[in-house]
Structure 1
Amino acid sequence: MAISATEKPLGKVFTSDYRFTIPSFQRAYIWQPANVLQLIGDLEEASKSADVPYFLGSLILVHDGGTRYEVIDGQQRLVSLSIIIAALRDLEEDAEWMRLLDALIVEPGDKLRGIRNEPRLTLRERDAAFFREYVQEGNLEALFDMTDEDWSSTAQRNVARNTRAAYDALSVMGDDERHAFASYLVNGVTLVIVTTDDLDGAHRIFDVMNMRGLPLTPSDVFKARATSGLKPALVDAYAARWDDIMDPLGDDPRQSEEFFSYLYLILAHKPDTGKLIDDFLNEVLQPYLAAGTITSFIDRVLAPYAMAWRMLEHPGDTVLSEGVRDRIEALNDYRNHEWKPVAMWALVNSFRKLGEPGMSPFVRRGSHASRTTVTEASLGLHDAQRLEELFAALERVTGVDTLNRTGSLERRGHATAAIRDLDKGYPVRLVRGLSISADDRAGALVRLHGELQGDEELARLLLIRANEQAANGRLARPRKLSALPIMPLEIGESASFAHWSQETHDYWMYRLGNMTLVQGGADQLDKMAEYDRRRERILMRADSRRFPLTRELADFAECTPAMMRHRQEETVRLIAEYWDIRYDENHSDLTSSDSIERLVESTDAASSVSRGSRRVTIAQVVKAGLLIPGETLVWERPRKGERYVATVTENGRFRLEDGSEYASPPAAARAAGGSKVGLDVWKRTSNGQKLSDVWKAYRLKAN
């Protein structure tokens, strides 16, 4: 069994030297939007230090002849990287950049050299054609126009949702930022390529690397350096002390790195430069080693901050007050973790005895419940009110940053500024990094009133905040909780919505007023078109009815635009009250209709909102002048001898030859010939232009 291993930048991996195939026995693509967004955030931050490489782990491959390799380990990263590159390509308007990005995921082909145009990565047979057609070959508009009914596998759903998430995250960058990001992706991101010609050997390598040959964590490195500065009599005791402190945090290298990265930020008042081990050793540990006080670091710094980390992971099991527990639980709802250093600082600086041996802040349960339990008072809590104020301000700024899609670098800047001011003893209201500017507040309110298509996770979080504000306290959540639309995606011939105009339906479809929290999965309403059936299903379970804004649907026998307007205004008002952003410095209510219109018109607020991957409608394209009322579109199927014609109407619909009208290309395509993906089949008769190209032109213009 021949084995080779070499480290290469991504630009040398996505070349004609490798054609990757995911074998059929591999699991499906399972990464979620949070995973892709975390990767983009990490890479965006790393790209600020372009000379520092970002190691993305190893690929384990089986050589299958020529340039063909089966992927044994690395599928999730390769697929996700391809998605990110595809999104970068679709957002690009410069032809040369588009060509270079395209070449990373699709072999350009060369007739002279006999090289075929082929994707560099082929998924499992069930998903390969889908991934090639919509992601690798650049048909993102058709992908964005799909609904949950259009996926034939969970992997396809994950690909679609992750592509939306990547596109949205990258669309808020300027052209120069995206170019710097793309350049770093190609040149600064490295992978170790481990290859063998034997499948069993590849599995043994995978087993060794992932089960027995675990890499050293930052904790391992820092422990070795710290104990090297101790007198022999203390080495064993403090090595054991270090293990007692760090073992409860687990042995996940990523989590260990995150903990020490945030601890570095707290102590150095700046984020690490991408060289965490060097930065921490030189700027944190070395002064203690030089002074001979490393035991003080372990007892008075490492121990309390590690305990604070554990409390943030499991706040419900601690003796913290209900208010603080609720805020930490709320902070854990966010996919980004830049709030953690401030939260760690708050706990360590509020409890004098945190981290001391025998002083656990966790509640004892079961057979140990009768024993003496540590209380907030015995942990040395001081200024409980300030602690609650600090966590409220931290959750508020985290929520507003999430709404405004603030980048990871800026979020870390907020945390750094906050800790600097907290170390100076500033009151919470004067702490930079925990304050909300007028522009931040305006941007958040505009986003709350706008469309949230493609970000179900954010919609769910916002609805939880609104419902808990309405209930005046935290609500127990069922194991599976979804944010579902009250109206169906297509109103068609539905009697419930016969009086609705398509424009009004499209306006409300992806806004918070049309969303409600429901116990269960996201697909439970898919086949229901009538409002009464959808409402009945939504209210069927008691776990759904515990949410006030869901329960409120029982009071509306009919779904009307007035109901949508009422729910929208109520939901936005509740969220604004929760985060204390409802009023400006002149005590004007910013959630009123007039105020929102003024905010939308303001340059700063409007520029903070991007269309991203939100679904484009025919009416929007007509209004933008990219389709002309009266012009015709054709769908030809030569092999079947079929030809369908649609006419663009004044009110932004497609009218088929039988006189029926449809509000979306897929609806018209399904009615005409059974196709699910309308943007792929309809073309303008005037110039043969595909609708996907028209939709892309609109999206780039809107962004």
Structure 2
Amino acid sequence: MCQTDEGDGDTLKELLEGTKQYQVPLYQRTYSWEKDQHERLWSDLVLLAEDRQVNREATHFLGSVVLAPSPSNGPTGVHRYLVVDGQQRLTTLSILLAAVRDHRAATEGAQHRDRINEQYLENKWESEDARLKLSPTQADRDSYRACIRQTTAAGSADGIGEAYRYFMGRLSAASSEDMPVDVQALEEAVLLGLALVSVTAQKGDNVHRIFESLNNTGLQLTQGDLLRNYLFMRLEGNAEEAYTDLWLPLQKLLAPKQLELLFWLDLVQENPKARQSNVYSDQVKRLERLQDERALVDEITRFLHLGRLLAVILNPEREHDQDVRTRLTRLKAWGTTTVYPLLLHLMDRRGTR
């Protein structure tokens, strides 16, 4: 059983103040909160801000944040933590703080921009790679940085941009007659009223096992998510390159459920009785036999190759051969998936002729 230290801070203010950085590892899913979750958080915060006007000790429990010391930590400099669980909450709250900063700077004065940046969003005097207090996974990094740095790309069309626009819209409406909100009280509710249980794994704990055990809370991970996490937790020196060149293109090519389908189809090639509900455990059993990082990278390369073939099966219009495209279109129209294992095998064989 893993050993953990609890009590590293139970408010967002305590988590973010000081020179530190929370790193969302490559193996974590990208930002996934949507409008209904933003609305729920906003409603909870508005009620909490009102409660705290009467009772300054009022809190709202938001959940846990599970951390692990980063392997990149040195004896000096910024202390870094890997975010094992809770990255969706930390990212959302940081985006909300950026929106509060921009709203208050525009309506009350630029001092709020400097104050919130320096206390909660950035390590002002650190190098570029250590500047952000929260460093999202690679696919989210540019969009998140745009929000924190207030560039023209802030509020882009991805999930992070949508969250920023949502909170900016609610803050802009905060002073309306229909639904007035005290923005200062709201900021205090975010920083002091949200209760977060912070748990830090000790050196030597199996971070992946902790991650697996936490999959019954928050946004449920797919088996594809868990498999990605397993692969990138095993990769060290090659992780960044493998993610950029291989996994990210695969992730953009196929939706989460389609990725899960891909990993099941891969198993079926060797075991026709493989069950889709056991995709993660069966793939891990197979991958555990691979002893070096190069072999793992080769597997991810193979997944990308098969993913491109599956994308054509699912989207026949991408097929360049007219005869093949016509037949794939007919099979898709039938709405059956039982032919997918054979189709993937034949498409793969065609490519090796």
So what's the TM-score if we normalise by structure 2? Answer: 0.51
Distance 1:194 1:9, change over 3 A: same
Q: Does 1:71 align with 2:83?
A: yes
**How many equivalent pairs are there?**
199
Q: 1:128 to 1:142 in 2, by over 3 A?
A: closer
Other-structure match for 1:606: none
Judging changes above 3 Å, is the alpha-carbon distance between structure 1 residues 17 and 2 closer, same or farther for their aligned structure 2 residues?
A: farther
Whole-angstrom CA distance in 2 between matches of 1:116 and 1:22 = 13
Aligned 8 A contact 2:147 2:153 in 1 = no
**Alpha-carbon distance change, 20 to 199 in structure 1, aligned in 2, over 3 angstroms:** farther
The match for 1:186 among 176, 181, 191 is 191
How far apart, CA to CA, are the structure 2 residues paired with 1:191 and 1:34? 21
> Counterpart in 1 of 2:139?
126
Question: What CA distance in whole angstroms lies between the structure 2 residues aligned with 1:41 and 1:121?
Answer: 24
Instruction: State the 1:208 CA deviation.
Output: 4.2
Structure 1 residue 201 displacement after superposition: 2.8
- Distance in 2 between residues matched to 1:100 and 1:17, nearest whole Å: 15
- Superposition deviation, residue 161 in structure 1: 1.2
Q: For the residues of structure 2 that align with 1:116 and 1:26, how far apart are their CA atoms?
A: 19
Q: Secondary structure at the match of 1:143?
A: coil
Distance 1:210 1:172 in 2: 36
Report which structure shows greater RCO (CA 8 Å, sep ≥6): 2
2:12 maps to 10
C-alpha displacement at 1:41, in angstroms? Answer: 1.2
In structure 1, C-alpha distance between the alignment counterparts of 2:160 and 2:128, rounded to whole Å: 28
Q: Residues 124 and 58 of structure 1: is their aligned pair in 2 closer, same or farther, counting only changes over 3 Å?
A: same
Residue identity matched to 2:124: G
- C-alpha distance after superposition, 1:605-638 (max 9, x if no partner): xxxxxxxxxxxxxxxxxxxxxxxxxxxxxxxxxx
Deviations 1:298-357 (A, max 9, x none): xxxxxxxxxxxxxxxxxxxxxxxxxxxxxxxxxxxxxxxxxxxxxxxxxxxxxxxxxxxx
In 2: Cα distance, 1:28 partner to 1:104 partner? 25
For the 8 Å contact 1:107–1:116, the answer to whether it is kept is no
For 1:178, give the aligned amino acid: V
- What is the letter of the counterpart of residue 186 of structure 1? L
**Aligned-pair CA distance for 1:42:** 0.8
Higher helix share: 2
Report the CA distance between 1:190 and its aligned residue: 2.0
Which of residues 74, 89, 97 in structure 2 aligns to 1:85? 97
Matched, 1:101 2:101: no
Q: Which residue of 2 aligns with 1:312?
A: none
Q: Tell me how far apart the structure 1 counterparts of residues 211 and 67 of structure 2 sit (CA, whole Å).
A: 10
Aligned partners of 1:47 and 1:208: how far apart in 2? 33
- Matches of 1:172 and 1:121, distance apart in 2: 28
Distance 1:25 1:199, change over 3 A: farther
CA drift at 1:131: 1.4
Report what 1:159 is aligned to.
160
Pairwise mapping of residues 385-424 of structure 1 onto structure 2 (< 5 A)?
none
Distance across 2 between alignment mates of 1:123 and 1:91? 23
Change in 2 beyond 3 A, CA 1:209/1:68:
same
Contact in 2 for aligned 1:105/1:121 (Cα 8 Å)? no
Conservation of the 8 A alpha-carbon contact between 2:21 and 2:130: no
Distance 1:183 1:69 in 2: 25
CA 1:110–1:43 in structure 2 vs 1: closer, same or farther (change >3 Å)?
same
Provide, for residues 628-684 of structure 1, a one-character-per-residue CA deviation record: whole Å limited to 9, x for no partner.
xxxxxxxxxxxxxxxxxxxxxxxxxxxxxxxxxxxxxxxxxxxxxxxxxxxxxxxxx
* Equivalent pair of 1:21/1:123 in contact (CA under 8 Å): yes
Partner of 1:394: none
Q: CA deviation at 1:120?
A: 0.5
Contact 1:55 1:190 in 2 (8 A): yes
The answer (yes or no) to whether the contact 1:37–1:166 under 8 Å persists in 2 is no
Residue type of the alignment partner of 1:196: A
Other structure's SS at 2:10 match: strand
The equivalent of 2:242 in structure 1 is none
- 5 Å matches for 1:196-595? 196-198=201-203, 201-211=206-216
Q: Secondary structure at the match of 2:197?
A: strand
- 1:349-401 Cα distance to aligned partner (Å, 9 max, x none): xxxxxxxxxxxxxxxxxxxxxxxxxxxxxxxxxxxxxxxxxxxxxxxxxxxxx
Partner of 1:173: 174
Kindly indicate whether the alpha-carbon contact (under 8 Å) linking 1:16 and 1:120 is maintained by their aligned counterparts in 2.
no
CA distance in 1, matches of 2:128, 2:154: 28
Structure 1 position 69, deviation (Å): 0.7
Shift of residue 197, structure 1, vs aligned partner = 3.6
Kept in 1, the 8 Å contact 2:140–2:160? The answer is: no
User: What is the DSSP-based 3-state SS (H/G/I as helix, E as strand, rest coil) of the residue aligned with 1:49?
Assistant: helix
Q: Offset at 1:110?
A: 3.8
Task: Give the root-mean-square deviation of aligned CA atoms.
Answer: 2.9
Q: Given the superposition, is the C-alpha separation of residues 2 and 84 from structure 1 closer, same or farther in structure 2, using an over 3 Å criterion?
A: same
Q: % of aligned pairs identical?
A: 27
TM-score (normalizing by structure 1):
0.26
* TM-fit CA distance, 1:89: 0.8
Task: Determine if the alignment matches structure 1 residue 23 to structure 2 residue 25.
Answer: yes
Q: For structure 1, which runs of at least 5 residues remain unmatched after alignment?
A: 149-156, 215-251, 253-703
Q: Displacement, 1:80? A: 0.6
Q: Does 195-204 or 21-30 show the bigger shift?
A: 195-204
Distance 1:197 1:33, change over 3 A: same
| 1:56 counterpart = 2:69 | no
